[in-house]
Structure 1
Amino acid sequence: MSESKDYGKASGNLEPGGNVDHDRCGGWRRFSGGRFARVWMGRDGLRAGWAVLLFVMIMSALLAGIAYAAHRLHHLPPMTGELQPSRMLIGELAMIFAAVVATKVMSLIDKRSWRDYGLQAPQRASRVAHLAQGLFFGAAAMALLMGTLRALHAVSIEPSGVALKPLLESAALWAVVFVLVGFSEETSFRGYVLFRLFRGVGPVAASLVTSAVFALVHLTNPGETAFGIVSVAATALVFCFAIWRTGALWWVIGFHAAWDWSQSFVFGIADSGTLASGHWLTSRPGGPAWLSGGAAGPEGSVLMLPLLAILVVLMVRTLPGGGGRRSVQAWR
């Protein structure tokens, strides 16, 4: 039995005369191990860059498969000029599915729990508290921004005229949709990817890379402006800072969800040039685009920068620090 086993190992490298081709064996060892292996393997396993690339490939393949199946089955609602909750619901659920599956696969490769990439917290109560706190700050920040724009006559706000019952139904439906938006975008852009890069290249480089990618993705939005893209990148950096402090995604998921819900449903102002259906108020930009945000909505206003600075101060005062550092140290 042992001879047969040895023969099986060497048979793929036999010369015509029956001798083992030691050059070929040595070449394979050099390719699969030794110095060459350092290109993709580090002290913690698969290097961060390769791990992130593999994560993106898995997500892309899953989303492509879902899109193809939906197209073949004709299960996508027709596109309109407004944001429709039914269409967004399908898209966000697909994104969440792809992000969670990709995270789970990569966690098996990393030999970690899939919740280690931003979905853990020291206690369940802290997860709920961070989510609730993020929801509050997201809604408050949008209200402050819109109130300031209104005071400066950069936006007009008036009731949309929607009846109470459909308005309440729309409020609940959009709340569900935007919670899914917050979860899907944060797990896709700042879940596995950000935490893996935290560990591989450090918090500063990880934040810069993921924020740049997040901003580039927003270039596909039809109503986006140059300052709107800068604002998106700056907001992403602030989100990374919050994640580094807490060591989890929950605060950012809450903020992201409440910000989008307030912007699209409560104030009914265009987000990258697109309005949400069934909104409560109707807001229209006025005056110079650099102040009102123009087609990009309030996210394209220069007032975003001081607002983000205020948020950073509030984060330092209200969010516990050291979560991201503890998360990285736990890998070692």
Structure 2
Amino acid sequence: MFKNDANQVRAGWILLLAAVSMFVGQQLFALPGVFVLLFTDSSSMMTGSEADLLASFDDYPWIFLLTQGGGTIGGMLVTVLLWKFLNKGTLQTLGFRRPLKDLGFGLLLGAISIVLIFIILYATGDVTLLKPFSQPEFSVYTLTFLLLFILVGFFEEMFFRGYVMRTMADRGNPKWLIYIVSAVIFSLAHGMNPNVSLIGLLNIALVGVLFAYMFDVTKSLWLPIGYHITWNYVQGNVFGFPVSGTTPHGIYSISVEGGNELLTGGAFGLEGGMLATLLIVLGFLATRVYEKMRGDA
């Protein structure tokens, strides 16, 4: 039950321990931000309303970064410690290998994917731009969410791809199962997000498979990390779409009222729409072409 035929502890038990440890680590590292909010805006903490609490974080972007970013750093630290002391691995075996060229291509591919979705929605009238392109509105959110999405890109790829996939692979699990398990866990981790939708969860699982494919063919986390960062940031902080249901703070403001929710994703954001499905699928092709051109260099 607990060990496989090779007398190794089964991957499922290790992943369960890792998930619980990661959750605890995230909560502990998020506490400083919660305490700062408590002293800054105690009324939001006293009401006990989750909506009021989230609204208060929205009013204090640096406190939000301290809380969410702190939790993310906690998750990364737990992942590294588990990999080093439980799995007996190194950062290189976790997936930090190959030149940073992979990171650059990932950043470009993620950004282009969101830009193409926006262009299609804008051309079809499913998205309305509330102010001209010549009038971007930069704010403190432009910087704080850049930092946050960089941390999120690193943490989620380190855990859901690096840790989960390598732990399963080291215990002889078949590749198809590794892909599915990492993608399903990734999707379920977003299941409590605001305005969650079935299409949104399916698309998150699908992009999880794409990230797994990127990691598998490059043997490196850099490509999925890059894609993950710009997919989130361009979506939420350039064009102003919700990112997996979270509040957007774009340099441009858009409206999807009257648009086809199957395309726009509605309140969940682009990940809840079918255009995201299309671009994620095209991401497999782009990754394949890139790796063919890249070779083993």
Normalising TM by the smaller chain, what interval? 0.7 to 0.9
Say which of 160, 166, 169 aligns to 1:189. Answer: 160
Say which of 182, 192, 202 aligns to 1:210. Answer: 182
Say which of 192, 200, 211 aligns to 1:220. Answer: 192
Q: 1:276 to 1:160 in 2, by over 3 A?
A: farther
Deviation string 1:242-276 (CA, Å, 9 cap, x unpaired) is: 11111121111111111111111110122344333
Q: Which has the greater radius of gyration? A: 1
The code of the aligned residue for 1:297 comes to G
The share of aligned pairs that are identical, in percent, is 25
Q: 1:52 to 1:173 in 2, by over 3 A?
A: same
Q: Which residue of 2 aligns with 1:23?
A: none
Q: Which residue of 1 aligns with 2:72?
A: 95
| 1:229 has 2:206 as partner | no
Q: 1:163 to 1:239 in 2, by over 3 A?
A: same
Does the CA-based 8 Å contact 1:207-1:240 persist in structure 2? yes
Q: Which residue of 2 aligns with 1:300?
A: 272
Q: Which residue of 2 aligns with 1:263?
A: 235
The separation in 1 between residues aligned to 2:200 and 2:16, in whole angstroms, is 27
Q: Normalization by structure 2: what TM-score?
A: 0.82
Which is worse superposed, 304-313 or 166-175? 166-175
Q: Which residue of 2 aligns with 1:55?
A: 18
The separation in 1 between residues aligned to 2:59 and 2:198, in whole angstroms, is 22
The code of the aligned residue for 2:17 comes to L
Structure 1 residue 321, shift from structure 2 partner? 9.9
Deviation string 1:179-223 (CA, Å, 9 cap, x unpaired) is: 112112222322211211133313211111121122122221121
Structure 1 residue 314, shift from structure 2 partner? 0.8
Q: Which residue of 1 aligns with 2:88?
A: 111
Say which of 43, 62, 79 aligns to 2:54. Answer: 79
The separation in 2 between residues aligned to 1:60 and 1:302, in whole angstroms, is 31
Q: How many residues are matched?
A: 280
The separation in 1 between residues aligned to 2:167 and 2:82, in whole angstroms, is 14
Structure 1: 5+ residue runs without aligned partners?
1-37, 327-332
Does the CA-based 8 Å contact 1:225-1:295 persist in structure 2? no
Q: Normalization by structure 1: what TM-score?
A: 0.74
Q: 1:51 to 1:80 in 2, by over 3 A?
A: same
Structure 1 residue 313, shift from structure 2 partner? 0.8
Q: 1:274 to 1:71 in 2, by over 3 A?
A: closer
Which is worse superposed, 309-318 or 170-179? 170-179
| 1:132 has 2:104 as partner | yes
Q: 1:99 to 1:268 in 2, by over 3 A?
A: same
Say which of 286, 289, 294 aligns to 1:317. Answer: 289
Say which of 245, 253, 258 aligns to 1:282. Answer: 253
The code of the aligned residue for 1:95 comes to T
- Structure 2 counterpart SS, 1:39: coil
Does the CA-based 8 Å contact 1:134-1:251 persist in structure 2? yes
- Structure 2 counterpart SS, 1:159: coil
Q: Which residue of 2 aligns with 1:25?
A: none
- Structure 1 counterpart SS, 2:24: helix
The separation in 2 between residues aligned to 1:95 and 1:274, in whole angstroms, is 16
Does the CA-based 8 Å contact 1:93-1:180 persist in structure 2? no
Aligned-CA RMSD value: 3.1
Q: 1:269 to 1:61 in 2, by over 3 A?
A: closer
Say which of 150, 161, 179 aligns to 2:150. Answer: 179
Structure 2: 5+ residue runs without aligned partners?
42-52
Which is worse superposed, 241-250 or 97-106? 97-106
- Structure 2 counterpart SS, 1:204: helix
Does the CA-based 8 Å contact 2:26-2:73 persist in structure 1? no
The separation in 1 between residues aligned to 2:276 and 2:133, in whole angstroms, is 29
Which is worse superposed, 283-292 or 129-138? 283-292
